[in-house]
Amino acid sequence: MSNDHRLSARQERIVQFIAESRRANGRPPTVREIGLAVGITSTSVVDYNLDKLERVGVIRRHREISRGIELVENADAGSRPYAVPIIGRIAAGRPIDAVQADPEQIEIPSSMARPGNFALRVAGTSMIDDLIDDGDIVIVEPRETAQNGDIVVALMTDGAEPEGAATLKRFYRERDRIRLEPRNPNLQPIYVKPHDLRIQGRAVGLIRPMIA
């Protein structure tokens, strides 16, 4: 897919929601339902993104009906489903113990993930200003380092025990400490020493499950 045809993260989320709606309800969603699912309040902004998806051949629209959105079966491979394991949950609030569950899987457009990526369910609302809400699913690229401003999966330890409390926050390196910054004005940053923190990965995508 050329740069002109590359989908944004928001557009990938729209494609995912359309596919989920078809599987769950046997029909595509309305424009308003898409907006609610991906956090867009303006239907005109949803229309703009749907028009882009139609131009690049990912969907086909039938504007004379309210649910006239059809996924194109032979769309670019970047929009075809790719199974990513959901390996547990992560705190977007106060740190919680990472929970390793029997890995279920979620199908997402392959352009949102690479081999080795994994998914975590979000618990809490500390990242709400980054549009990451309780119950969302974050797609994570495994890595042990981070740049300032990255949204990271951070595992806090006491320096002796590698397993500890995991959290999803923005990462900032300061003089002799790390600041884990929430994106919620009601919450305070977490400060830790570098040796008491292990980066598990960087958030690279977001899925908002459809509410039944």
Active site residues: 126, 169
Distance CA 7, CA 56 (A): 9
Torsions phi, psi for 119 (to 5 deg):
-125, 150
Cα 6 to chain centroid, rounded: 18
Cα 150 to chain centroid, rounded: 14
Q: Do the strands 137-142 and 96-97 form a parallel or antiparallel pair, or are they unpaired?
A: unpaired
Distance CA 110, CA 141 (A): 13
Alpha carbons within 13 angstroms on the beta-carbon side of residue 88 total: 13
